[in-house]
Amino acid sequence: MWRVCARRAQQAAPRSGLRARWTAFREDPGAPGVTRRAGPAPAPGHSAAAGYGRVRALCGWRASSWATQRARLPLQLLGSPGRRCYSLPPHQKVPLPSLSPTMQAGTIARWEKKEGEKINEGELIAEVVLPALSPTMTVGTVQRWEKKVGEKLSEGDLLAEIETDKATIGFEVQEEGYLAKILIPEGTRDVPLGTPLCIIVEKQADIPAFADYRPTEVTDLKPQAPPPIPPPVASVPPTPQPVAPAPSAARPATPAGPKGRLFVSPLAKKLAAEKGIDLTQVKGTGPEGRIIKKDIDSFVPAKAAPAPAAAVPPPGPGVAPVPTGVFTDIPVSNIRRVIAQRLMQSKQTIPHYYLSIDVNMGEVLLVRKELNKMIEGKSKISVNDFIIKASALACLKVPEANSSWLDTVIRQNHVVDISVAVSTPAGLITPIVFNAHIKGLETIANDVVSLATKAREGKLQPQEFQGGTFTISNLGMFGIKNFSAIINPPQACILAIGASEDRLVPADNEKGFDVASMMSVTLSCDHRVVDGAVGAQWLAEFRKYIEKPVTMLL
């Protein structure tokens, strides 16, 4: 019987904590958790009996206590269930890092290591793919890499500029390291979501290991080739290239990139256009010779050397060359493609109708003049700010115009977020003035200026232009009298603002008429959500707030 019990004890030995208990029992039979059999001690000199007694004390094979000791044996060997524990060797959990400011989830494209394999510091463990930077984004374009292979990366550094379907967004570094490999070349268009962009390692010594690395997902992605240049028209003789003139020698070197491109920040380009500065004469002090705002502010044009009077000055390097052929193919950007798709969808699926009225702007112009005197030096209120505020308050009065068509339901919004159409070099974008119904005119003015600047510089964040409940499009500054705008789905209305002009209007005076500044506005409505009478009611509320701006305080 003791052999059977000993065999059971040996089978249970691999269990957690048994070895220590078994050793303690052999060395000290009176140790806790071991019950010796009651009775006389074995005679001295009988080692077998002593060992037998210990096994008997461990096994307790007496018939009277067999059942009790058999049930107690596992507890004596293994301890009580409440004291059981599972210990793991020292280890490290690798969490999924955030690779963009808007990243909330990621996709593991492929594991480079298998379970059981050794991982050395700096080795590639997994590829975290390009996240969606907007709800409608399916592909992206790598506009420019701001870092080169081998450069050290610090948290917050701008790594690349990615063009989405909404805007060009800077891709920032989230952790320190070194850029080991660029997988998607600069200028590659229509990169699908889930495609690895680059590899970053912790140690600089690990960079050479990825020199020939190339995942299979990007083997077919190549930079967009420029459109083929059409052959020159036969009737136009080729113009011989003149010898470089002397004045060009005094001109500073053009800050161009490795591909001959002129690197200019959007703000610097805008300032240069306003000041009439030739960017080829400006020396950039930014990364890789990039021209920034500071370079434009401190630029002093150099005096050109006098040319001989008889010589005809050839066109300078800043003059655009005469295009050859009869047309030029301009590649369609992701932003322009999405604009085209959404506008076509809107006109084909939304039953538009249009309502137009004329609004007297006399009171608004007077109030605007007084307010700007009060806040002079801090900000400047425009007529468009009054229009945004009046539109928001009219939406509270007529909530049907502040609704969205969602196929199965009509969502009536309780807050008014005004989307303001802004024209940028890349296309039209609509940044949002959130909670316009509770903001003052000065706050609205500051928000519009900030959002418009970000939009033209391509620095808008997705949350700043996604959403909105009502849209305003203003072409009055271009002299457009009136126009009909296309609804921005899923919104139900969009207000088109024309230019103000002086008109003769009936008046109760000696002359019987007066000169008033009148502005034409057109409201485009979705007939599925807003009936004609409801649209007319909204315009009436809007006109009341504009012609009597003091009522905005009520």
Catalytic machinery residues: 527, 531
Q: Coil, strand or helix: which one is 26?
A: helix
DSSP letter string over 476-534?
GGGT-----PPP-TTBSEEEEEEEEEEEEEE-SSSSSEEEEEEEEEEEEEETTT--HHH
Dihedral of the alpha carbons of 343, 347, 353, 357, in degrees to the nearest 10: 30
CA distance 509 to 490: 48
Helices (H), 311-379: 334-349, 362-374
Phi–psi pair at 110, nearest 5 degrees: -165, 140
Is residue 22 a contact partner of residue 13, using CB atoms and an 8 Å limit? yes
For residue 46 the two structure tokens come to 């009988």
Strand partners, 405: 410
DSSP letter string over 262-305?
B-B-HHHHHHHHHHT--GGGPPP-SGGG-B-HHHHHT--PPPPP
Is residue 462 a contact partner of residue 102, using CB atoms and an 8 Å limit? yes
Give 349's Cβ-side CA count (13 Å radius): 14
For residue 272 the two structure tokens come to 């240069």
Q: What angle do CA 193, 171, 161 make, to 5 degrees?
A: 85
Residue 150 gets the label, from left (phi > 0), alpha (psi -120 to 50) or beta, of left
